[in-house]
Amino acid sequence: MSRELVIHADRAALVAETADRFAATITAVLAEQDECHVALTGGSVGIELLAALRGRALDWARIHCWWGDERFVAAADGDRNALQAREALLDHVDIPAANVHELPASDAGLDLDAAAIAATAELGDRVLDLVLLGMGPDAHVASLFPGHDGTDVEGAGVIAVRDSPKPPPERLSLTFDALNRAPRVWLVVAGDDKASALALAMSTADRHEVPAAGVHGTRETRYLVDRAAASLLPDGMLD
C-alpha cells in the first residue's frame, strides 16, 4: 500500500486538481470494470470538489455514489451531505437514481439503529473503488470522532453515532473496516485550522484519539492538501 502526500498551492488549486485526479482515476477504473463505486464526502471542501466535477466528462451511468457518513436529519434538511451533493453535482449530471445510495434520513420511517442496520445491508460486502474523506480540526473522519465508541467497532458496515461532539448529535457512519477495504482512500484537507490534525494523522497516532490516522486504502492512501493544511508537517515528510 502506497502513501502519498500532494501539496497544492491553495484551496482553489486543491479543488481543481483533485477534480482532475478524480476524473482520471474513475475513467481508468471504468476502463477495467463495468461499474465504479465511490464514497463521497461532505464538508466545505468536499462540496466544492463535487461542484468542480460538473464540468468533467464522466460516464455517470456506470458510477455509483455512496457516502462515508451522514447526519441523521430529515431528507430535506440542508445539513444532509446527500442533499448538498445533489445540489452541487448529482442534480446536474445524468446519473441514474438507482446509482445514488443515500444513507437513510430521520424521516424515512426508521430509528437510528434500524437505519444503520438497513444501510449495512445495502452496502453488504461491497468494496468501494474510491473513498473520499474530509477531516475535522479534531482529526475526525466520516463520523468517527476521537474517543468515541465508533472508533472501537470492528467489522465492515454502517454504525449509529450518538452524542456526536459536532452537531447534529445523531449520525450514521461507515466503520474503519468498511472504509479501509477500499483500494483507494483520499483525504482532502484545506486550511491552517487542520494543520495540527494533519500532522497527527500522518504520524503513528492511535486511531482512537486521531481517527484520521486509522484510514488507509489497500492500494493507495493519498493526502491531498493545500499549503495551509501542510504548514505543520515536519520537513522530512515534505521531501
Q: Where are the domains of the chain?
A: 3-218+225-230
**Mean pLDDT confidence for 173-182:** 98
DSSP state of 231: T
Report the CATH fold assignment for 3-218+225-230: Rossmann fold (3.40.50)
CA distance 238 to 216: 19
* pLDDT tens-digit series, residues 194-212: 999 999 999 978 999 999 9
Q: What are phi and psi of 144, to 5 degrees?
A: -100, 105
239 pLDDT exceeds 50? Answer: no
**What's this model's pTM, rounded to 2 decimal places?**
0.96
Is the sign of the CA dihedral 59, 174, 232, 228 positive or negative?
positive
pLDDT at 238: 53
* pLDDT tens-digit series, residues 64-88: 999 999 999 999 999 999 999 999 9
pLDDT at 236: 64
Residue 139 near residue 212 (C-beta atoms within 8 A): yes
The amino acid present at 197, given as its one-letter code, is A
Q: How confident is the model at residue 234 (pLDDT cuts 50, 70, 90)?
A: confident
237 pLDDT exceeds 80? Answer: no
* pLDDT tens-digit series, residues 132-170: 999 999 999 999 999 999 999 999 899 999 999 999 999
* pLDDT tens-digit series, residues 90-118: 999 999 999 999 999 999 999 999 999 99
CA end-to-end span of the chain: 19
